[in-house]
A and B are shown apart, each in its own frame.
Chain A
Amino acid sequence: MSENNKETPVNERRSVERERVKPWPAPKLNITARLGLVKFIPDEKSHLSVIDPYVCRTRCPQKFCTHTCPAQVYRWEDEEKLISIAFEGCLECGTCRSGGCPWENIEMSYPRGGFGVQYRLG
């Protein structure tokens, strides 16, 4: 804001500053404690899969799914160069199939009847 303002007395010149937008918080939350509150009945077979791991490796430096999934089901394994899937802790929200993976490289179905997340409150 300009300092040469005639309406305000010189000794009172200052500006009202718009509050700064704070950056995204730095500490990464451990999701394990939070998922520990939820009851899961895990199936043996995964209801989630990466369609083409090559896409994750070559086209997706951001690894979007590791950020968008609210249960941190997807994790980038740097040694193996692939996405690992902890499907047992999936909240079945559908984010990964609805744009959470912008490459549409994740196949999601629901777990078999009677398996998966079981909300006691919801």
Chain B
Amino acid sequence: MNPAARETAARATPSRFDAIIVGGGPAGLAAAITIAEAGLKVAVIERGDWPGSKNVMGGLIYSHPTSQIVPDFWKEAPLERHVVRRDMWMTTADSTLKASYETTDFALEPYNSFTVFRSRFDKWLAEQARARGAYIINETLVEDLLLESGKVIGVRTGRPGGDLEGNVVILAEGVNRFLTEKAGLGAKIRPATVALAVKEVLSLPKDRIEDRFNLEDGTGAALEIVGDVTGGLPGTGFIYTNRDTISIGVGVILKGLVDKVGESYELLERFKRQPQVKRLIDGAKPREYAAHLIPEGGYRDMPQLYGDGVLVAGDAAGMVNAVFTEGANLALLSGRAAGETVIRAGKTGNFSAHTLSWYGERLEKSLVIKDLKQFEDAAPFLSSHAHMFNLYPEVASAAMKELLTVDSLSKADKTRLIMRLFRSQVPTRRLVRDAYDAWRAIL
């Protein structure tokens, strides 16, 4: 803790704030930093021992949105590697078809994206908020909202005498949106649009990681893997390189798992056994196991973003772009917009839903809502087209294998065999339908 932070921590916590933020993740902390920088009194209430201790990363931290919260953050934040390569794998039980993009531009400052551990990154972000004057109140669960004639006026915490009052309460409580539900702003997320991700962090020496993934010192790769690795369930596997560990995980739409009566913890084992995956992690020792939900419902599953005295941001607001596996960036941007809304409303002294609706307008104009709207059909599409996760990788693999196996067949005969296989497995009507639905869902 730096001297400024210690000084802030030593100050007695007041019981009335300009804003009370529930949850110390990217959304809540971005809001806290924005509000504290304007000189307003803000508290972040975190149920874990420190912000980040309940959080799990299944994606990347991007430079551009993060720099808007803390300029030049990459010079001091606890980051693992800057990502220069993104791989897409299509797998069967024993084969892989790969697409890869890499550029040296991503190796230049201020970089494009980073792998991180959220328990460390969020803790650091909270220190930035504290240094700017925000109160970080750890080990405290918000149990309920305080209401006065329908208006949110504060929070009730699990501590004795732990009521805190504020002009605005920002709900940045994460995917399990208990308070957002209680406030009547949104329903519980649905099994068809929520993904369960299970993840392991595996230790492997730094130079072995760089050899195996063909990386230069300090650079990283992010791999997105579809097909057999999810056992044919709609979902993806991921592998991220950290400094001297590898994050490996698999996320599947919960409904698919329930319908198949699948074992979530077995999914990861299955993933790790795939031969090409196995080679990457061979000999790596498990360090930590984690599980988390990801709200993939997008725009359609979003709650009401504002009410009298209350705003919703980040995962609680369903701000995840499942197609591009982005979430933390949208959380940061929505948190900042929520913070700016509090500052703006503070000038008028009016915190009604009408005044706070500026938050919604601001997000509508930003990429947050634009992206969520563009991909609003993606999650329902993936749920209703589960066959694509097995069918296409298998057909593609069989075709590649036939084409590349040299035997007594001519290439023309091989092409005919492949076309016949393709037609028997993928009727033209289905192909046209899938292509059309995919185009509609994603573009």
Contact = CB atoms under 8 A, between A and B. Distances in A.
SS class of chain A's interface: helix, strand, loop or mixed? loop
Contact of B398 (A17, A71, A95): A17
Contacts of B53: 118-120, 122
A49 to B, nearest CB: 15
A113 B287 contact: no
Interface string B399-410: 101100000110
Contacts of B159: 113
A68 B269 contact: no
B136 to A, nearest CB: 13
A18 B398 contact: yes
A70 B198 contact: yes
11 contacts: A18-B398, A19-B92, A29-B269, A34-B286, A37-B288, A67-B263, A69-B264, A97-B188, A114-B47, A117-B54, A122-B288
A10 interface: no
A11 B397 CA distance: 25
Contacts of A64: 258, 261
Given A94-B176, A112-B141, A12 B413 contact: yes
Interface in B329-372: none
A116 B47 CA distance: 10
B56 A12 contact: no
Interface residues of A, number: 56
B257 A68 contact: yes
SS class of chain B's interface: helix, strand, loop or mixed? mixed
A100 B290 contact: no
Contacts of A116: 48, 54
Contacts of A1: 420-421, 424
B118 A109 contact: no
Contacts of B255: 99
Interface string A65-97: 001111110000000000000000001111101
Given A8-B417, A41-B49, A68-B258, 5 more contacts: A34-B289, A38-B290, A93-B292, A94-B293, A122-B117
A92 B178 CA distance: 13
Contacts of B390: 21
Contacts of B245: 121
B293 A67 contact: no
A93 B289 contact: no
Given A67-B264, A113-B141, A119-B288, A18 B293 contact: no
B180 interface: no
B64 interface: no
Contact of B293 (A21, A98, A112): A98
Contacts of B395: 18
A24 B196 contact: no
B315 to A, nearest CB: 11
Nearest to A109: B178
A70 B265 contact: yes
Interface string A22-51: 101100110100110110010000000000
Nearest to B263: A67
Contacts of A102: 191, 258
A22 B266 contact: no
A119 B56 contact: yes
A120 to B, nearest CB: 6
Nearest to B52: A122
A7 interface: yes
B291 interface: yes
Nearest to B247: A121
A59 B367 CA distance: 46
A64 to B, nearest CB: 6
From A17, A18, A92, name the one whose CB has the most chain B CB atoms within 10 angstroms.
A18
A15 interface: yes
Contact of A70 (B201, B291, B420): B291
Nearest to A72: B265
A21 B178 CA distance: 39
B246 to A, nearest CB: 12
What are the 8 closest A-B residue pairs judged by CB atoms, nearest first? A99-B191, A114-B139, A70-B291, A122-B119, A94-B176, A122-B118, A113-B140, A113-B141
B290 to A, nearest CB: 6
A45 to B, nearest CB: 12
Contact of B201 (A14, A110, A121): A121
Contact of B56 (A7, A41, A72, A122): A122
A122 B53 CA distance: 7
A39 to B, nearest CB: 9
Contacts of A41: 49
Interface string B196-235: 1010110000000000000000000000000010011000
A103 to B, nearest CB: 11
A98 B291 CA distance: 14
Contacts of B52: 119, 122
